[in-house]
Amino acid sequence: MIRFGTNPIAWANDDDRSIGAHIPTERILDEAGRQIGFDGIENGHRWPQDDPEALRALLAGHGLAFVSGWYSTNLLLRSVEEEISAVQGHLAKLKHNGCRVLIVCECSNTVHGSPDIPVNARPRLTLPEMQSFGAKVEALAAYLASEGVTLVYHHHMGTVVESPEDIDAFMAATGPHAHLLFDAGHCAFGGGDPQAVLARHLGRVAHFHAKNIRRPVCDRVRREGMSFLQAVRAGAFTVPGDQEGAVDFAPLLHLLAQKGYDGWIVIEAEQDPRLRNPLLYQTLGLATLKRLAQETGLI
């Protein structure tokens, strides 16, 4: 069953907490749940982090399920066994809330959270390094599968898996337990054709982020050597349905329908809420996705 979710970074950013700091937590939950009508929401720094039941109760009070949450791996620096030990608290939170996937991204050397480092200066892995890294991710994924949770890897700007070539190499270095979180916006910003990349890896996509981009802003970020957080503030990202957006979501949802995809479709589109009202943009995004999902036979 397809369910539609959102991410609180549309209201209050996790990497730069000054973005959206003026928005009360109650407003985020009320808008996402009662006013817009999302089925669930991903993790954010405003939610209870160490009490899985308090998290469940908070979201349920607004008609929202807990979708899943980002987990930063450090597998380039530590062993699989150390990572398994480190993930226990996060895993317990997901299992208590009935989550099917655990979102991971390697953050031992990422630049996406650095305000002054250009996103162009991201780390890169050689093919042998990617193969070694992939083997570690796969081992972690096998452990998580034994716990009833699917690892979904989030390719992301400013990290070791950003470009379409990175995604291809990572997917070749993992499997069958490691799956992909396909993010349309990060794929396009990273130089990929979202439709082509999704088609190549459709069989292992287990989570979908419906992020859109403003192409002129992304081009400026590359040209001027801006950081990821500067890109966010400049408006690099937006939602499905925005006329300024460069990603066509119809063929992406058509591919998901062909696959028989039955997971979450999440609008993860961070913007500066002082410039772009989250209630308006998230409403537009959800309405667009539901319309396209009906037209493509996804729902």
Confirm if 102 and 144 have CB atoms less than 8 A apart: yes
Residue count of the chain, please give it.
299
Question: What is the Cα–Cα distance from 60 to 181, expressed in whole angstroms?
Answer: 25
Give the pLDDT score at 278: 98
Instruction: Report in angstroms the alpha-carbon separations of 71 from 21, 68, 106.
Output: 22, 10, 9
Question: What is the Cα–Cα distance from 44 to 278, expressed in whole angstroms?
Answer: 15
What's the token pair of residue 17?
């907490």
Question: Which residues on adjacent β-strands are paired with residue 150?
Answer: 101
Residue 147 has pLDDT above 90, yes or no: yes
Give the pLDDT score at 192: 98
Instruction: Report in angstroms the alpha-carbon separations of 151 from 70, 136, 195, 219.
Output: 11, 12, 22, 32
* For range 226-253, the mean pLDDT: 98
* For range 264-293, the mean pLDDT: 97
Q: What is the dihedral of CA 297, 290, 193, 273, to 10 degrees?
A: -170
Instruction: Give 176-206 pLDDT, tens digit per residue.
Output: 999 999 999 999 999 999 999 999 999 999 9
Instruction: Report in angstroms the alpha-carbon separations of 81 from 88, 136, 141, 148.
Output: 11, 10, 12, 18
Give the pLDDT score at 1: 87
* For range 115-123, the mean pLDDT: 97
Give the pLDDT score at 40: 98
Instruction: Report in angstroms the alpha-carbon separations of 10 from 71, 229, 266.
Output: 19, 14, 12
Question: What is the Cα–Cα distance from 190 to 187, expressed in whole angstroms?
Answer: 5
Give the pLDDT score at 158: 98
Judged by DSSP in three states, 212 sits in strand
* For range 251-264, the mean pLDDT: 98
pLDDT band at 49 (very low <50, low <70, confident <90, very high): very high
Residue 93 has pLDDT above 90, yes or no: yes
Amino acid at the residue 136: K
Domains and CATH numbers, the chain: 3-296 (3.20.20.150)
Give the pLDDT score at 182: 98
> What letter does residue 33 receive in the DSSP assignment?
I
Give φ, ψ of 111 to 5 degrees.
-115, 0
Question: What is the Cα–Cα distance from 120 to 111, expressed in whole angstroms?
Answer: 9
* For range 267-288, the mean pLDDT: 97
Which stretches does DSSP call E strand in the chain?
3-6, 40-41, 65-66, 70-73, 101-106, 150-154, 179-183, 205-209, 212-213, 237-238, 264-267
Mean pLDDT of the residues in the chain = 98
What is the percentage of the chain residues whose pLDDT exceeds 70? 100
Start-to-end Cα distance in the chain:
8
By CB atoms closer than 10 A (0-12, 13-18, 19+), residue 241 is: buried
Give the pLDDT score at 100: 98
Q: How many CB atoms lie within 10 A of CB 177?
A: 18
Question: What is the Cα–Cα distance from 104 to 93, expressed in whole angstroms?
Answer: 15
